[in-house]
């Protein structure tokens, strides 16, 4: 689910000084309790550094905490079901897709440096997000049904106007059909995952201890 994956928000580049940095001045503490587990302030800041890499700006600590709570729910369910972790090859493919999402290798390296993440930390984040998204896909994909009308509506209302806005000729419906179907399936997975996460939160003991004033 995009909100879990992570993955993740867009906007103007945030000033580097707004990102909480790891230093002797930062004292780690418990930001939330979920059942018998805890989420630490350092977990929030690690996720925000990854958000900085992806989108050029971090979220608020409160937003990042909500993401981590959702991730806790997904990860716990996946672990209980013994869902397989991604292979090294799967992780490497995801890393390649991440790098390819930037205009150039230089832009990726600059953003990574700005976020303060090491290569190993990026790999760990990518592996975690891949595990969570793969589990959600396996749990909800079969329940998502896309009919021909939905594909045609998406083509007419999204693909054609987007091409026109770029001054381009849109692809034919037949050419775009598989892409559109997968996009609609992913949207359906996200919607079902959102509902499931809301229901799951209602059954859990969650105590938020994060004070947004304490940066």
Q: What is the pLDDT of residues 90-106, one digit of tens each?
A: 999 999 999 999 999 99
pLDDT higher than threshold 70 for residue 172 = yes
* Residue 195 lies inside a defined structural domain of this protein: no
* Residue 7 lies inside a defined structural domain of this protein: no
- Angle of CA points 83, 124, 107, to nearest 5°: 130
Residues with Cβ within 8 Å of residue 103, at least 6 apart in sequence: none
Can you tell me the distance from the alpha carbon of 58 to that of 18, in angstroms, rounded to the nearest whole number? 9
Predicted confidence at residue 3, as pLDDT, reads 47
* Residue 132 lies inside a defined structural domain of this protein: yes
Q: Is the dihedral of CA 66, 52, 124, 98 positive or negative?
A: positive
The predicted-structure confidence for 13-58, as pLDDT tens digits, reads as follows 222 233 343 444 457 999 999 999 999 999 999 999 999 999 998 8
pLDDT higher than threshold 70 for residue 108 = yes
Q: What mean pLDDT do residues 111-122 have?
A: 96
Overall domain count for the chain: 1
* Residue 174 lies inside a defined structural domain of this protein: no
Contact 30/38 with Cβ under 8 angstroms? yes
Contact 181/151 with Cβ under 8 angstroms? yes
* Residue 125 lies inside a defined structural domain of this protein: yes
How high is the mean pLDDT of the chain? 88
The H or E element spanning position 105 is helix 105-115
Domain that holds residue 25: 16-144+204-208
pLDDT higher than threshold 70 for residue 66 = yes
* Residue 111 lies inside a defined structural domain of this protein: yes
**Residue reference for tokens 């689910």:** 1
What region does 116 belong to: left with phi over 0, alpha with psi -120 to 50, or beta? Answer: left
Predicted confidence at residue 26, as pLDDT, reads 52
Q: What mean pLDDT do residues 129-136 have?
A: 97
pLDDT higher than threshold 50 for residue 168 = yes
Burial group, residue 71, by CB count within 10 angstroms (0-12, 13-18, 19+)? buried
Q: What mean pLDDT do residues 123-147 have?
A: 96
CATH number at residue 70: 1.10.4030.10
pLDDT higher than threshold 70 for residue 88 = yes
> What is this structure's pTM?
0.80
Contact 155/180 with Cβ under 8 angstroms? yes
* Residue 37 lies inside a defined structural domain of this protein: yes
Can you tell me the distance from the alpha carbon of 59 to that of 44, in angstroms, rounded to the nearest whole number? 10
Going by pLDDT thresholds of 50, 70 and 90, the confidence category of residue 1 is very low
Q: What mean pLDDT do residues 119-132 have?
A: 97
pLDDT higher than threshold 90 for residue 173 = yes
* Residue 31 lies inside a defined structural domain of this protein: yes
Going by pLDDT thresholds of 50, 70 and 90, the confidence category of residue 9 is very low
């Amino acid at each position: 689910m995009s909100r879990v994956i992570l993955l993740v928000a867009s906007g103007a580049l945030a000033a580097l000084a707004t990102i909480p940095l790891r230093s002797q001045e930062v004292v780690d503490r418990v930001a939330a309790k979920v059942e018998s587990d805890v989420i630490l302030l350092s977990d929030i800041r690690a996720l925000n550094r990854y958000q900085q890499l992806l989108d050029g700006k971090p979220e608020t600590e409160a937003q990042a905490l909500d993401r981590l709570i959702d991730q806790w729910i997904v990860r716990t369910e996946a672990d209980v079901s013994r869902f397989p972790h991604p292979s090294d090859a799967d992780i490497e493919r995801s890393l390649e897709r991440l790098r390819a999402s930037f205009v150039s290798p230089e832009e990726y390296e600059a953003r990574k440096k700005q976020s303060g993440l090491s290569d190993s930390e990026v790999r760990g984040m990518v592996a975690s997000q891949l595990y969570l998204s793969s589990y959600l896909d396996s749990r909800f994909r079969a329940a998502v049904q896309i009919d021909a009308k939905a594909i045609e509506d998406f083509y007419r209302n999204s693909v054609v106007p987007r091409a026109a806005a770029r001054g381009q000729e849109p692809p034919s419906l037949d050419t775009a059909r598989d892409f559109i179907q997968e996009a609609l399936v992913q949207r359906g997975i996200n919607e079902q995952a959102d509902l499931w996460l809301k229901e799951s939160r209602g059954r859990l003991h969650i105590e938020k201890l994060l004070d947004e004033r304490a940066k």
